[in-house]
Amino acid sequence: MPAQDSGDMPPPPLTALTEDERLFQTTVRKFAREQIRPFVREMDEAGIFRKDIIQQFFDMGLMGIEIPEEYGGQGGTFFQAILAVEELSAVDPSAGVIVDVQNTICNNALLRWATPEQKSKYLPRLAGNMVASYALSEAGSGSDAFSMTTRAEDRGDHFLLNGRKLWITNAAEAGFFLLFANANPEAGYKGVTAFLVERDFPGFQVGKKEDKLGLRASSTCELLLDNCRVPRENVMGDIGKGYKIAIETLNEGRIAIGAQMVGLARGALDHAIAYARERKQFGRPIGEFQGVQFDLAKMAIQVEAARLLVYNAARLRDAGLPFLAEAAMAKYYSSEIAEQVASKAIEVHGGVGITRDYPVEKLYRDAKIGRIYEGTSNIQLVTIAKKLLGK
């Protein structure tokens, strides 16, 4: 049988957490282990996230953590959203990214840039029962995000959107899309505009779902826009200022991806420790051999260092202090160590580690995307270097 987290394993250090944050963390951890873990393998193999679990996300308030209570949300903090993503990802990173996109990208964007009317219309639904998705990427615009070809034609009281979006997380389940299109191509990136698009808008269609290496339960789809009619009141922010919304939102989202990768790495480490305690060779548990102990110790150091980077960036963001370089550092390092720790966890398991009967194989597959989405590792290094050089 697959090794599970040992019940007497101490929790991660909580010195930076308040009592309320500790309680929140414990609640999400318990939920993830009891309600999600039994279905992780099934969802991964099917490539579908269970609707009943998503409903539980809403019931627990995990889809509207920072949304004010007046809109039906929890009135919590960005740091709490980061804790939720970490705890869910320790069990299933696919669960973590669903909650991540909802909170740290889509909800946050509306809280900052939406009009009062837009907030009143959408925030209660996003807190209550509507999954959100963020649509920026295209076939030819990845790291060069603003080379998008999706166009928005101004028709007075509405816009007509035409184009194709790719790699859109949560698209299969989403009823709401924060979507970017260029309303003035001659102006380059200064024509990019943010639109609030509902799934049933005429001319909008969710297309093919990607068959992926990892995060298989998290949907990733293309979006097709064929004269998609978007009311003018669904433009968020000023026309041509969508690039600012996209950049600032992704800066926050990178902290959450860091949390996802920390959770993933912690989950892999927990499985490795549990297996090292129960697996015997030469008459004793392999955890008694110094070589295995050293591997586990190094993994624990990496996880803790990544966690502190993520927590620091999240605290800076909540305090209203600059966090651009810190977010890039957190995202870069956590995604690097997630892959390394998951790989080493497989080695601790030996031959069974590469079988699907044990959870570390899945975590290793899930880890790869961390160095790619929400800004590649190279993009993070560029961001950090510019900050260091004062550019």
In the block, tokens 């590649």 appear at 376
pLDDT at 6: 44
- Candidate list 86, 252, 361, 374, residue with the active-site label: 374
Strand partners, 236: 194
CATH fold of 133-241 = Butyryl-CoA Dehydrogenase, subunit A; domain 2 (2.40.110)
Spatial separation of the C-alpha atoms in residues 298 and 331, rounded to whole Å = 19
Spatial separation of the C-alpha atoms in residues 224 and 360, rounded to whole Å = 36
Q: What percent of the chain has pLDDT over 70?
A: 96
Told to judge if 69 belongs to the known catalytic residues of this protein, a careful annotator would answer no
Token pair of 333, please? 């390092």
Spatial separation of the C-alpha atoms in residues 375 and 145, rounded to whole Å = 10
pLDDT at 14: 42
Q: How many CA atoms lie within 13 A of 360 on its CB side?
A: 31
Domain ranges of the chain: 19-131, 133-241, 244-389
Q: What is the mean pLDDT of the chain?
A: 95
Report the pLDDT averaged over residues 11-26: 79
- State the burial class of residue 125 (Cβ atoms within 10 Å of its Cβ: 0-12, 13-18, 19+): middle
Cβ–Cβ under 8 Å, residues 35 and 56: yes
pLDDT-derived band at 247, boundaries 50, 70, 90: very high
pLDDT at 84: 98
Q: Looking at domain 244-389, what is its CATH homologous superfamily?
A: Butyryl-CoA Dehydrogenase, subunit A, domain 3 (1.20.140.10)
Cβ–Cβ under 8 Å, residues 185 and 254: no
Spatial separation of the C-alpha atoms in residues 247 and 242, rounded to whole Å = 9
Cβ–Cβ under 8 Å, residues 271 and 295: no
Residue 13 has pLDDT above 50, yes or no: no
**Residue 94 contacts by C-beta under 8 Å, 6 or more apart in sequence?**
43, 44, 49, 215, 216, 217, 218, 366
Q: Looking at domain 19-131, what is its CATH homologous superfamily?
A: Acyl-CoA dehydrogenase/oxidase, N-terminal domain (1.10.540.10)
Sign for the pseudo-dihedral over CA of 268, 269, 275, 281: positive
pLDDT at 12: 46
